[in-house]
Amino acid sequence: MALFQSSTRIIPDAPDVPRHIAIIMDGNGRWAKKLLLPRVAGHQRGVETVREAVKACRELGVEYLTLFAFSSENWRRPEDEVSFLMQLFLKMLEREVEKLHENNIRLKVIGDRSHFDDKLNQRIAEAEQLTVNNTGLTLTIAANYGGRWDIMQAVQAMLRARPELSEGFSEAEFEPYLSMHYAPEPDLFIRTGGEQRISNFLLWQMAYTELYFTDTLWPAFNREALQAAIQSYQKRERRFGRTSEQLRGKQAHANGQAQESGADA
Residues that bind ligand IPE (CB under 6 A): 24-30, 68-71, 74, 85, 193, 195, 197, 199
What is the number of residues in the chain? 265
121 belongs to the catalytic site: no
**Minimum distance from CB of 89 to ligand IPE (Å)?**
10
| 213 scored as a contact of Mg ion (CB under 5 A) | no
Out of 13, 28, 74, 117, pick the active-site residue. Answer: 74
CA distances from 220 to 27, 32, 211 (A): 9, 11, 20
**Binding partner of residue 30 among ligand IPE, Mg ion, none, CB cut-off 5 to 8 Å per kind:** ligand IPE
Q: CB-based burial of residue 216 (10 Å sphere; 0-12 exposed, 13-18 middle, 19+ buried)?
A: buried
- Cα-based torsion angle of the residue sequence 74, 207, 235, 225 in order, rounded to the nearest 10 degrees: -10
Assess whether 26 carries a catalytic annotation.
Answer: yes
Check residue 63 for interaction with Mg ion (CB under 5 A). no
Spot the catalytic one: 26, 28, 144, 187.
26
**Which residue number, 68 or 233, has a Cβ lying nearer to ligand IPE?**
68
124 alpha carbon, distance to own chain's centre: 17
Q: If binding is defined by CB under 5 A, does position 26 make contact with Mg ion? A: yes
Out of ligand IPE, Mg ion, none, which partner does residue 24 contact, by CB within 5 to 8 A per kind?
A: ligand IPE
Going by C-alpha positions, the residue among 176, 215, 207 that lies closest to residue 189 is 207
The residue number whose beta carbon is nearest to ligand IPE equals 29
Per CB under 5 A, 219 contacts Mg ion: no
In angstroms, give the least distance from the CB of 42 to ligand IPE.
6
Q: Which is nearer to Mg ion, 44 or 103 (CB)?
A: 44
Whether residue 113 contacts residue 124, with contact meaning beta carbons closer than 8 Å, is answered with yes
Sheet holding 106-110, edge to edge: 106-110, 138-145, 64-71, 20-24, 188-191, 210-213
Binds 74, which of Mg ion, ligand IPE, none (CB < 5 to 8 A, cut-off by type)?
Answer: ligand IPE
Which residues does the annotation mark as catalytic?
A: 26, 74
